[in-house]
Amino acid sequence: MADEAQILEAVEVARTTGKIRKGANEVTKAIEKGDAKLVVYAADVNPKEVVMHLPLLCKEKNIQCFEISKKEDLGAAAGLPVATAAVAIVKEGDAKNSVAGMREEAKEKAEKKAAEPKKVEEKKEKPKVQAKEAVPEESAEQAAEPDEKAE
């Protein structure tokens, strides 16, 4: 998979020659509209709920999504003086080749993973406990009648 330096470089190139969206809300909108070509989000965002939906949306819309370790690095690559949780590349500009290369690498990795035989774990059978036979309870009528034999 593409390393963080390549991903951040693609964001920088797309910022200067193309178009990007910055921030979790704008990135979410770009994904939902289908405008995003590539999404990058930071792993150190707190709380995690801010960005945890992005990989799921990207998978649903078939958009490549990458995680990097620091939001400060992502903010710097996006040309911001502050950190940002996520960035979406909307128009690649001169980063078109690097974005396409990252897509191909990710696609090949996914195909390799799908081609590998899955390990099937043997299920351990638990010993079956036999149910005890239900003992018929006295009906309400029998319990209500006094025992005539006792007299």
Domain coordinates of the chain in residue numbers? 4-106
* Residue 3: predicted pLDDT: 82
74-132 confidence digits (pLDDT tens): 999 999 999 999 999 999 888 888 888 887 877 777 777 777 766 655 555 555 666 56
Q: What is the pLDDT of residues 1-57, one digit of tens each?
A: 568 888 999 999 999 998 999 999 999 999 999 999 999 999 999 999 999 999 999
pLDDT the model gives residue 93: 85
- The CATH architecture assigned to 4-106 reads 2-Layer Sandwich (3.30)
Q: Which residues pair with 41 in a beta bridge?
A: 67, 86
Q: How many C-beta atoms surround the C-beta of residue 87 within 10 A?
A: 33
